[in-house]
């Protein structure tokens, strides 16, 4: 298609809601790349206002202060495209609904809002016949929403495994490479600005769970909300767990997992398991090499096979890159006609309960070192239908005083795939065995 002369279309009015780290970069790039963007869209993109809470607060010099306004509701009424980088549920939801009601296309980076109440926005956009784009809501700069929503629309996605939270990946990577404790690594992440003063949303897995819900909805054409995601953060991961992971050829990662299970429901229909938890990932898996605060999403699709998307999951300019890509898509539709994809929920798959998750486990135990103990433990697993893949009996564990505990053996048991419910019952039974002193840890193994 020949390029549309920029002059032939009036400028498109862009309103920006929020001027934090990401908003500042969106405003800077809209100005700095104005000519390129105009050529790509076929019309100039004119930033008509930036809504902020306090228009008198200090700002980056890249911000044209004359654009600042505290009246976001009025701003969205006079825009063709509204970009929301405020975050949180309100007032973001109200402002986006107003923007859609006023006929604007919307671009949002708001994972929490989409995971909690995305369908309200999708429906409003559909009813109004406007675009809603949200590439920046999952894994920052990494193109993953568009690939799953559009590029893989002709395939069947079976599984999505993602490292979608940079803060926790940084913390776990520091623990792996330096041996430091979780508390030390979180403190370091805070000092470097990777973790917030209150790191709850990251370390407890809420941020990753919101992204998992969005990815699962897109991958499986089924509504998945934050409440559907089984969530476990990284706070219980110890330096010892990380060291053991290395000894057994794994690294510990916080994974967002969404997978299709054929015939998993009571009625024999397919279901979807969506969860976030720390997991042992074999060092040979591509996700094991995602270091520092980087993100990656590994997708398994029936025809495409395995795909991996890698890059920066946070930060001003990287996230602004994803936002601007969406702005260009929405703007092109304004100039050339057409519309982006709508919500796709036709599959309506059941969301499986956490107890139905199927995975492999690594269980570490301290037991009395005498004949027959291993047999007793193996029998307890067998009684619950959990099959053992491998057992290691590494050296004698260290006693708390730094010496060697006499008569105590460490067992590291890796199971074959088992349902979470069977594993929970098994661990309880094993912990109750007379020669078992402690169940030191139970970690899931993914990506094998
Ligand atoms: N706090 C997130 C992270 C970035 O650490 O990856 C925004 O979702």
* Concatenated DSSP letters of 184-207: HHHHHHHHTTSS-SS-HHHHTSHH
What is residue 4's predicted lDDT score, i.e. its pLDDT?
58
Report if residue 347 sits inside a domain.
no
CA of 163 to the centre of ligand 1 (A): 11
Answer for the pair 279, 160: CB distance below 8 angstroms, yes or no: no
- 48 and 133 within one domain: yes
pLDDT, tens only, 323-381: 999 999 999 999 999 999 999 999 999 999 999 999 999 999 999 999 999 999 999 99
Per DSSP, the three-state class of 416 is coil
Closest ligand 1 atom to the C-alpha of 314? 4
d(Cα 36, Cα 308) in Å, to the nearest integer? 29
Nearest CA to ligand 1 atom 4: 314
What value, to the nearest 5°, has the Cα angle with vertex 71 and ends 69 and 76? 100
- 135 and 34 within one domain: yes
d(Cα 374, Cα 370) in Å, to the nearest integer? 9
Helices (H), 56-165: 72-76, 92-101, 111-128, 145-146
CA of 233 to the centre of ligand 1 (A): 14
What is residue 6's predicted lDDT score, i.e. its pLDDT?
74
Nearest CA to ligand 1 atom 7: 314
d(Cα 376, Cα 382) in Å, to the nearest integer? 10
- 211 and 179 within one domain: yes
* Domain of residue 69, CATH code: 3.40.50.720
Answer for the pair 280, 445: CB distance below 8 angstroms, yes or no: yes
d(Cα 349, Cα 216) in Å, to the nearest integer? 11
Among 23, 112, 140, name the best residue to mutate to test ligand 1's pocket (greatest count of ligand atoms within 8 A of Cβ): 140
d(Cα 221, Cα 214) in Å, to the nearest integer? 11
Residues with Cβ within 8 Å of 151's Cβ and at least 6 positions away in sequence, in order, are: none
Closest ligand 1 atom to the C-alpha of 194? 5
CA distances from 251 to 193, 298, 304, 382, 394 (A): 24, 16, 27, 28, 18
- 168 and 56 within one domain: no
Report if residue 252 sits inside a domain.
yes
CA of 414 to the centre of ligand 1 (A): 32
- 231 and 193 within one domain: yes
d(Cα 135, Cα 129) in Å, to the nearest integer? 19
CA of 115 to the centre of ligand 1 (A): 15
d(Cα 197, Cα 208) in Å, to the nearest integer? 18
Name residue 256's beta-bridge partners: 162, 276
- 378 and 308 within one domain: no
Name the strands in the sheet holding 12-17, side by side, starting at the edge strand that comes first in the sequence: 68-69, 45-51, 12-17, 81-84, 105-108, 132-133
* Concatenated DSSP letters of 335-382: HH---------TT-PEEPPGGG-EEEEEEEEEEE-STTHHHHHHHHHH
Among 85, 135, 138, 165, name the best residue to mutate to test ligand 1's pocket (greatest count of ligand atoms within 8 A of Cβ): 165
Q: Is 187 a catalytic residue?
A: no
CA of 355 to the centre of ligand 1 (A): 28
Tens digits of pLDDT across the chain (448 residues): 555 567 789 999 999 999 999 999 999 999 999 999 999 999 999 999 999 999 999 999 999 999 999 999 999 999 999 999 999 999 999 999 999 999 999 999 999 999 999 999 999 999 999 999 999 999 999 999 999 999 999 999 999 999 999 999 999 999 999 999 999 999 999 999 889 999 999 999 999 999 999 999 999 999 999 999 999 999 999 999 999 999 999 999 999 999 999 999 999 999 999 999 999 999 999 999 999 999 999 999 999 999 999 999 999 999 999 999 999 999 999 999 999 999 999 999 999 999 999 999 999 999 999 999 999 999 999 999 999 999 998 865 555 454 456 789 999 999 999 999 999 999 999 999 999 999 999 999 999 7
- 331 and 279 within one domain: no
Name residue 208's beta-bridge partners: none
Q: What share of the chain is helix, strand, coil (3-state, %, to 5)?
A: 40, 25, 35
Q: What is the largest CA-CA distance in the chain?
A: 86
d(Cα 118, Cα 100) in Å, to the nearest integer? 13
Report if residue 324 sits inside a domain.
yes
Report if residue 351 sits inside a domain.
no
- Ligand 1 pocket list (CB less than 6 A): 165-167, 202, 207, 313-314
CA of 165 to the centre of ligand 1 (A): 5
Supply the range of the domain harboring residue 50: 6-140+317-336
- 383 and 266 within one domain: no
d(Cα 373, Cα 353) in Å, to the nearest integer? 34
What is residue 3's predicted lDDT score, i.e. its pLDDT?
57
Closest ligand 1 atom to the C-alpha of 295? 6
pLDDT, tens only, 131-174: 999 999 999 999 999 999 999 999 999 999 999 999 999 999 99
| Number of domains forming the structure of the chain | 3
- Compute how many other C-beta atoms are within 10 angstroms of the C-beta atom of residue 152: 19
Closest ligand 1 atom to the C-alpha of 164? 6
- 132 and 118 within one domain: yes
- 392 and 260 within one domain: no
* Concatenated DSSP letters of 31-75: HHTHHHHHHHHTS-EEEEEEE-S-TTS---TTS-GGGEES-HHHH
- 380 and 302 within one domain: no
d(Cα 126, Cα 131) in Å, to the nearest integer? 8
- 159 and 117 within one domain: no
* Beta-strand relationship, 388-392 and 418-419: unpaired
- Compute how many other C-beta atoms are within 10 angstroms of the C-beta atom of residue 243: 12
Closest ligand 1 atom to the C-alpha of 170? 5
What sign for the dihedral angle of Cα 15, 20, 24, 26? negative
Given the residues 187, 211, 253, 339, the one annotated as active site: 211
Provide the 8-state DSSP code for 404.
B
């Amino acid at each position: 298609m020949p390029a549309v002369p920029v002059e032939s279309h009036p400028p498109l009015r862009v309103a920006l809601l929020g001027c934090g780290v990401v908003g500042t970069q969106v405003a800077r790039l809209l100005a700095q790349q104005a000519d390129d963007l105009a050529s790509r869209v076929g019309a100039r993109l004119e930033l008509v206002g930036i809504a902020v809470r306090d228009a008198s607060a200090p700002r980056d010099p890249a911000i044209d202060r004359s654009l600042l306004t505290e009246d976001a509701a009025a701003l969205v009424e006079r825009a063709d495209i509204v970009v929301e980088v405020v975050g949180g549920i309100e007032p973001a939801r109200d402002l986006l609904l107003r923007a859609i009601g006023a006929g604007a296309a919307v671009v949002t980076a708001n994972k929490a809002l989409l995971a909690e109440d995305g369908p309200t926005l999708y429906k409003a956009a559909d009813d109004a016949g406007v675009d809603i784009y949200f590439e920046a809501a999952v894994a920052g700069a990494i193109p993953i929403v568009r690939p799953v929503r559009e590029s893989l629309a002709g395939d069947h996605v079976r599984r999505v495994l993602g490292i979608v939270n940079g803060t926790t990946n940084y913390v776990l990577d520091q623990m792996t490479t330096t041996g430091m404790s979780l508390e030390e690594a979180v403190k370091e992440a805070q000092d470097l600005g990777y973790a917030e003063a209150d790191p709850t949303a990251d370390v407890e897995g809420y941020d990753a769970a919101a992204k998992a819900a969005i990815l699962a909805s897109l991958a499986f054409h089924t509504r998945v909300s934050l409440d559907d995601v089984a969530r476990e953060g990284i706070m219980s991961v110890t330096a010892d767990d990380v060291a053991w992971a290395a000894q057994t050829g794994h690294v510990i990662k916080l994974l967002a997992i969404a997978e299709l299970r054929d015939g998993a429901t009571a009625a024999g229909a397919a279901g979807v398991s969506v969860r976030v938890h720390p997991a042992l990932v074999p060092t040979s898996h591509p996700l094991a090499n995602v270091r520092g605060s980087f993100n990656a999403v590994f997708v398994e699709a029936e025809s495409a096979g395995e795909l991996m998307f890698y890059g920066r999951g946070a930060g001003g300019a990287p996230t602004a890159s994803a936002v601007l890509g969406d702005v260009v898509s929405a703007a092109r539709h304004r100039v050339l006609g057409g519309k982006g994809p709508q919500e796709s929920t036709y599959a309506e798959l059941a969301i499986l309960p956490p107890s139905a998750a199927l995975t492999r486990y690594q269980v570490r135990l301290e037991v009395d070192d005498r004949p027959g103990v291993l047999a007793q433990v193996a029998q307890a697993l067998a009684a619950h239908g959990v099959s053992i893949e491998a057992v290691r009996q590494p050296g004698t564990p260290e006693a708390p005083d730094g010496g060697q505990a006499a008569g105590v053996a460490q067992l590291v048991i890796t199971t074959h795939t088992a349902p979470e419910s069977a594993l929970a019952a098994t661990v309880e039974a094993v912990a109750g065995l007379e020669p078992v002193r402690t169940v030191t840890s139970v970690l899931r193994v993914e990506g094998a």
